[in-house]
A and B are shown apart, each in its own frame.
Chain A
Amino acid sequence: MESVDSRPDPDELLASIIQDEEKSKRGKLKIFFGMCAGVGKTYTMLQAAKVEKQKGSDIIVGYIETHNRHETAILVEGFELIPRKKHDYKSASVEEMDLDTIISRKPQIVLVDELAHTNAPGSRHTKRYQDVLEILENGINVYTTVNVQHLESRSETVAQITGITVRETIPDEIFENADEVEVVDLSPDELLQRLSEGKVYAPERSREAIENFFRKGNITALREMALRIVADRVDKQLHDYMQQKRIRGPWKSGSHLLVAIDYRVQSTRLLRWAKNLSYSMGANIQAIYVETSHQLSPKENDQLNKNINLAKQLGIKVRIVTNYDVVSAIVDFAQKENATHIIVGKPRVRNLFAMLRLGSFVNKLIRYSGNIDVYILGADNQAKGRYREKVFVPSFTSTFKEYLAVIFLVFLSSISCYLVRDFIGYQIVSFGLLFIVSILAIFFGPGPIFLAAASSALIWDYFFIPPQFTLHIDKPEDVLMLIMFFFIALLNGILTSRVRRQEQKTRIREERTQALYQLTKELNTAAGMDGVSRIAVNYVQKYFTLDSAIILKTELGKLDSTVQDGSSISLSENDFSVANWVFKHSSIAGKFTDTLPSGLFTFFPLAGNNGNMGVIAVELHRFFTQGEEQFWDAFLSQISGKYEREFLRNAAKNTYILSESEKLYKTLFNSISHELRIPVATILGASDTLISQSYPEETRQKLYNEISIASIRLNRLIENLLNMSRLESGHITPRPDWCDVHDISNNVAETLQTELKSFKLTTVIPQDMPLVKVDFGLIEQVLHNLILNATQNVPPGTIIRLKIFYDNGLLNLQVMDRGPGFLASELNFVFDKFYRGKDAKTGGTGLGLSIVKGFVAAQAGTITAENRENGGAKFIIKIPVEIADLNQQKKLVQG
């Protein structure tokens, strides 16, 4: 059994392999990590770079802040500096790292100071660490510096220690995934020494700094924290290493933390705390948010978004589930995910509403959680204050009007009761009022209901309970009844409103499901990319009331340079570059995000199963709420899926065309080689005979004639093949122009003079035939081929009729003969490539009629073949055309 146990967890192994692969493509990140400013991180980084440079590495300085420190400045001098890029911001000019120049310069290592820096507005990313991630993605190694207070998970603790809130933070993930972390350590005494010597700050600032921040106690605490973090990291690396090398160890794998967050500010502390715990336990961590019937106020919604973002920053995945019952949602999820610990915040509920809403949350959780450990984190003072405030805020989001309405309705019903009080007695009145409050609960929130319950209780007491018109109550049972009345009204009202809200939520969900269903249904009927785009834009407008634009990838896999038809916003060049970034990095950017937030639009990737299909830009007025975002994601995934299917279908179509043309090629090879050889053989034979032997003039004339006929046949074949290939490759684009059909028929008769010698061609065109707008050349070719076809299939002397007329928007062309007509069995094939009539004369290619069909189709027309009633074949062509105004024509000629 031992051997089985020592096998590494396959999932973890796979994850580590994938991580390794990802890393090897990316550049390596080395972090110089210190407890606070002034320990010499930048200096150490430069020295390490110098050593690398002496080894021959190509190193440049992307961004270094020397803080006017002399030693540092000297060290920088030896390196190539990338000039900073100037951004104009509110009339001031701000300098930031020039990301694009660094990436295009492509050094081996780039030095970037102060990873946690926040970029000036107008930069591509809001944070410098995002710049660094992009540099790494381009395969460039980065050296950078970080202080312990900049780690997201530690920022709060640092704030508690030093009393200074840190705004510039980096996600822990970056630190955790760094390839190398070098601690730059200095004893607190040495640091203070350096400070007082003015080596860190200018002397007058030093004193201030020492008094505020650099107190020995602070420094010691920060130092301990920094060293502990690095030690944790070493532990984790050791764990990873052992896992990879299949060394069994005593690590506490299998621990799995589940932290339950909500919409309160308290959750941020909870998340940080849980993250630290997961570090020291070496445990996986996940977060859950349970969406209940509670209606979130805009403020709460905002905080919830913040909480979820913080979790993401800390590298914690958040799952959102909807459930009426928070406890069972958490426990169910924990059991499903095999969580070993549940971490929740301690609810500080000290009022009636909250009690009603939450019940004994903690007790319930502990009761149901079984063998899962439950950690409950107490709220600190600050959170407590806000918490109290928040408990009251959300429930009373109802408008003033609603309160007025409730009062009005309670009064109205009280007056009605008052009128009939003598018939029913004051006790029955209470039931009436109770009933009214219950009814009101269907339409109003808890706030108005509380008011309704309270006011109706007072009204009952004052107007009904004897003695009337006093608040005084005589009978003790009436006092009891009044109290009961109030609580029943309240409870009833709140329960009803809760059910109603739950129902509302369900309805919203249903609507969303319905919308998704509609979208899917409509997308399925969409034809082509354009159709999909139009529907997508319409639906985004309909269900999100947002204007949007869609940009798809081209067949080359790059993002197109134009938006799809139907898009309701137009994009600038800048927008396109944001779109390209989104497409390349598969993450959202633009307004309301941390990346390129300065534009008007927000860009989302349209992610399919095999890469991005494109990008959608929307004009948001605020970012989505949690529920909306889920809905939006589902929406996008439907649309992306459809695009992906369309792309696949196009690819399949191309393959089909390819296989079709292969088939054509084969047929061509078989059929044409024969058709080509015959005339060539004739020409060769005849000319040979003419050259080598002398024949009488008459014989020679006959041979010349044969050569001529063979050449014409050869030429016709070539013409047909060229036309066929034009059709096959889709290069036929009709160019309609005004035509006199007489011209067309004359030209055809003219060019077919020789072939028509032994036939009679009669052309019938009505007197008032208008000018029609068609492609002269194509129609000429169509008639040419049809008449030529007739000459090859009917006995000499037969009349061939060409009838041209206009009828109801259609140009009718009919070619008929009194020949043998078609066999019933071949009617279906006459237009097929290389199909030739059974009794056709030699010399045809079997292409003529399929070209006719192709040319007619190119002009949106139809062609049919049929047998005439009294024998013979008939071709009927109908092409939709525009005609010239006959009267105008006449006027023109007369004038």
Chain B
Amino acid sequence: MNKAETILIIDDEVQIRRLLEITLSANGYKISEASTGKEGLIHAATVHPVLIILDLGLPDTDGIEILKKLREWYQKPILILSVRSSEDDIIRALDHGANDYLTKPFRTGELLARIRVAIRQSMGSAEDPTLTFGSLSIDLASHIVKKNNEIIKLTSTEFSLLALLAKNEGRVLTHQFILKEIWGMGYLEQTQYLRVFMAQLRKKIEDNPTKPKLLNTESGIGYRFVG
């Protein structure tokens, strides 16, 4: 890391902010804190954070509203850290542009990992047409997928699905989002398509399809590709 990257924490709970500050500083990040949504918006514009950790239950404005305002101009990852754990809340936040979602209480190890992935994702240049994850390589240009240097035969739908998830490595993609991207607007209710293709895809690319490592299910929400 050349210079310390700033992470903005927007959360009204002092204790959580303190915990995050200690943990994140110890891991080499610079911290900027805001206890209200309004303050958070100002900080976001002035300190140029590399990532924002946003609480949904803010005292002045609803977190989703802050998320919407930030997304009008802020391109970098936003990670939601909230006690709201219903599927609806999570999907709503993801649909409004959040990159990831963690519910309180959370394990700091997990948080750090998510932060790292999100930052790397946002930094990664889209120039390289080949994505590599351990023994798996995906050539986006020539549609060739190799595992342990052996070509894996994928149907075009399977490839699109895999490419979509891999390009968004570490990010939760909701069912609706995937269905819209791969099959189109008319298929938003056809989750069974997704289930069938995911199972098929796992059989082809996972070492052990019953214990998937790459293609993770986020219960009731969607899928996440973990490289």
Out of A738, A742, A780, A895, which one reaches B219, CB within 8 Å? Answer: A780
Question: Separation in Å of the B191 CB from the closest CB of chain A?
Answer: 5
Q: Contact: A738 with B220, CB < 8 Å?
A: no
Whether, in the assembled complex, B196 has its beta carbon less than 8 Å from a beta carbon of chain A, the answer is yes
Q: Contact: B105 with A747, CB < 8 Å?
A: no
Whether, in the assembled complex, A687 has its beta carbon less than 8 Å from a beta carbon of chain B, the answer is no
| CB nearest neighbor in A for B193 | A892
Whether, in the assembled complex, A893 has its beta carbon less than 8 Å from a beta carbon of chain B, the answer is yes
Residues in B neighbouring A737, C-beta threshold 8 A: 175, 191, 220
Known: A737-B191, A743-B217, A777-B87. A889 touches B105 (CB 8 A): no
CA distance A895 to B105 in the complex (A): 44
Question: Separation in Å of the A72 CB from the closest CB of chain B?
Answer: 65
CA distance A743 to B219 in the complex (A): 8
Bitwise, A714-757 to B at CB < 8 A (1) or not (0) is: 01000000000000000000000111101110110100000000
Give the residues from 758 to 804 in chain A that come closer than 8 angstroms, CB to CB, to chain B.
763, 771, 775-777, 780
How many interface contacts (CB-CB < 8 Å) are there between A and B?
Answer: 51
Whether, in the assembled complex, A295 has its beta carbon less than 8 Å from a beta carbon of chain B, the answer is no
Known: A715-B105, A771-B192, A777-B87. A893 touches B200 (CB 8 A): yes
Q: Contact: B195 with A892, CB < 8 Å?
A: no
Whether, in the assembled complex, B210 has its beta carbon less than 8 Å from a beta carbon of chain A, the answer is yes
CA distance A737 to B155 in the complex (A): 25
Give the residues from 207 to 227 in chain B that come closer than 8 angstroms, CB to CB, to chain A.
210-212, 217, 219-220
Whether, in the assembled complex, B199 has its beta carbon less than 8 Å from a beta carbon of chain A, the answer is yes
Question: Separation in Å of the A748 CB from the closest CB of chain B?
Answer: 9
Residues in A neighbouring B191, C-beta threshold 8 A: 737-738
Q: Contact: B210 with A746, CB < 8 Å?
A: yes
Whether, in the assembled complex, A711 has its beta carbon less than 8 Å from a beta carbon of chain B, the answer is yes
Known: A777-B87, A892-B193. A740 touches B210 (CB 8 A): no
CA distance A744 to B212 in the complex (A): 12
Question: Separation in Å of the A608 CB from the closest CB of chain B?
Answer: 41
CA distance A747 to B210 in the complex (A): 10
Whether, in the assembled complex, A884 has its beta carbon less than 8 Å from a beta carbon of chain B, the answer is yes
CA distance A780 to B87 in the complex (A): 13
Question: Separation in Å of the B114 CB from the closest CB of chain A?
Answer: 16
Residues in B neighbouring A780, C-beta threshold 8 A: 219
Question: Separation in Å of the B156 CB from the closest CB of chain A?
Answer: 10
| CB nearest neighbor in B for A744 | B219
CA distance A771 to B192 in the complex (A): 7
Question: Separation in Å of the B216 CB from the closest CB of chain A?
Answer: 8
Known: A715-B105, A742-B210. A777 touches B220 (CB 8 A): yes
| CB nearest neighbor in A for B196 | A889
CA distance A747 to B216 in the complex (A): 9
CA distance A892 to B182 in the complex (A): 14
Residues in A neighbouring B87, C-beta threshold 8 A: 777
Question: Separation in Å of the A747 CB from the closest CB of chain B?
Answer: 5
CA distance A740 to B191 in the complex (A): 10
Q: Contact: A893 with B197, CB < 8 Å?
A: yes
Whether, in the assembled complex, B198 has its beta carbon less than 8 Å from a beta carbon of chain A, the answer is yes
Question: Separation in Å of the A218 CB from the closest CB of chain B?
Answer: 81
Residues in A neighbouring B195, C-beta threshold 8 A: 738-740, 743, 771, 884
Residues in B neighbouring A746, C-beta threshold 8 A: 210-212, 217
Residues in A neighbouring B200, C-beta threshold 8 A: 893
Question: Separation in Å of the A883 CB from the closest CB of chain B?
Answer: 10
Q: Contact: B212 with A893, CB < 8 Å?
A: no
Q: Contact: A740 with B199, CB < 8 Å?
A: yes
Residues in B neighbouring A738, C-beta threshold 8 A: 191-192, 194-195
CA distance A895 to B197 in the complex (A): 11
Question: Separation in Å of the A758 CB from the closest CB of chain B?
Answer: 19
Out of A763, A775, A884, which one reaches B192, CB within 8 Å? Answer: A884
Q: Contact: A777 with B219, CB < 8 Å?
A: yes
Interface of A is mostly: helix
CA distance A742 to B217 in the complex (A): 10
Q: Contact: B196 with A771, CB < 8 Å?
A: yes
Q: Contact: A763 with B199, CB < 8 Å?
A: no
Residues in A neighbouring B212, C-beta threshold 8 A: 746
Question: Separation in Å of the B199 CB from the closest CB of chain A?
Answer: 5
Residues in A neighbouring B196, C-beta threshold 8 A: 771, 884, 889, 892-893
Residues in B neighbouring A744, C-beta threshold 8 A: 219
Question: Separation in Å of the B95 CB from the closest CB of chain A?
Answer: 16
CA distance A775 to B87 in the complex (A): 11
Question: Separation in Å of the A38 CB from the closest CB of chain B?
Answer: 73
Give the residues from 84 to 124 in chain B that come closer than 8 angstroms, CB to CB, to chain A.
87, 105
Residues in A neighbouring B175, C-beta threshold 8 A: 737
Question: Separation in Å of the B218 CB from the closest CB of chain A?
Answer: 9
Residues in A neighbouring B219, C-beta threshold 8 A: 743-744, 747, 776-777, 780
Question: Separation in Å of the A477 CB from the closest CB of chain B?
Answer: 100
Question: Separation in Å of the B212 CB from the closest CB of chain A?
Answer: 7
Bitwise, B160-195 to A at CB < 8 A (1) or not (0) is: 000000000000000100000000000000011111
Q: Which of B192, B199, B210, B211 has the most A CB atoms < 10 Å from its CB?
A: B192
| CB nearest neighbor in A for B86 | A777
Out of B155, B197, B199, B220, which one reaches A742, CB within 8 Å? Answer: B199
CA distance A57 to B87 in the complex (A): 63
Known: A742-B199, A742-B210, A763-B210. A747 touches B193 (CB 8 A): no
Residues in B neighbouring A893, C-beta threshold 8 A: 155, 196-197, 200
Residues in B neighbouring A892, C-beta threshold 8 A: 193, 196-197
CA distance A775 to B211 in the complex (A): 21
CA distance A777 to B87 in the complex (A): 9
| CB nearest neighbor in A for B87 | A777
Question: Separation in Å of the A751 CB from the closest CB of chain B?
Answer: 9
| CB nearest neighbor in B for A749 | B211
CA distance A780 to B191 in the complex (A): 18
Known: A715-B105, A747-B219. A740 touches B211 (CB 8 A): no
CA distance A749 to B217 in the complex (A): 12
CA distance A437 to B100 in the complex (A): 98
Bitwise, A852-895 to B at CB < 8 A (1) or not (0) is: 00000000000000000000000000000000100001001101
CA distance A893 to B199 in the complex (A): 10
Residues in B neighbouring A740, C-beta threshold 8 A: 195, 198-199
Residues in B neighbouring A739, C-beta threshold 8 A: 195
| CB nearest neighbor in A for B192 | A738
Residues in B neighbouring A889, C-beta threshold 8 A: 192, 196
CA distance A771 to B199 in the complex (A): 10
Residues in B neighbouring A884, C-beta threshold 8 A: 192, 195-196
Residues in A neighbouring B210, C-beta threshold 8 A: 742, 746, 763
Q: Contact: B217 with A711, CB < 8 Å?
A: no
Residues in B neighbouring A715, C-beta threshold 8 A: 105
Residues in A neighbouring B197, C-beta threshold 8 A: 892-893
CA distance A522 to B199 in the complex (A): 53
Bitwise, A420-461 to B at CB < 8 A (1) or not (0) is: 000000000000000000000000000000000000000000
CA distance A739 to B175 in the complex (A): 12
Residues in A neighbouring B220, C-beta threshold 8 A: 737, 775-777
CA distance A739 to B195 in the complex (A): 7
CA distance A763 to B209 in the complex (A): 13
Question: Residues on A close to B: CB < 8 A?
Answer: 711, 715, 737-740, 742-744, 746-747, 749, 763, 771, 775-777, 780, 884, 889, 892-893, 895
Ranked nearest first, the 9 interchain pairs of A and B with the lowest CB-CB distance are A738-B192, A743-B217, A777-B220, A738-B191, A740-B195, A776-B220, A884-B192, A889-B196, A893-B200
30 contacts between A and B (CB under 8 A): A711-B105, A715-B105, A737-B191, A737-B220, A738-B192, A738-B194, A739-B195, A740-B195, A740-B198, A740-B199, A742-B199, A743-B198, A743-B219, A744-B219, A746-B211, A746-B212, A746-B217, A747-B217, A747-B219, A749-B211, A776-B220, A777-B220, A780-B219, A884-B192, A884-B195, A884-B196, A892-B193, A892-B196, A893-B155, A895-B155
Q: A771-B192, A884-B195, A889-B196 are in contact. List 20 more A-B contacts (CB 8 A).
A: A711-B105, A715-B105, A739-B195, A740-B195, A740-B198, A742-B210, A743-B217, A746-B211, A746-B217, A747-B219, A775-B220, A776-B219, A777-B219, A777-B220, A884-B192, A889-B192, A892-B193, A893-B196, A893-B197, A895-B155
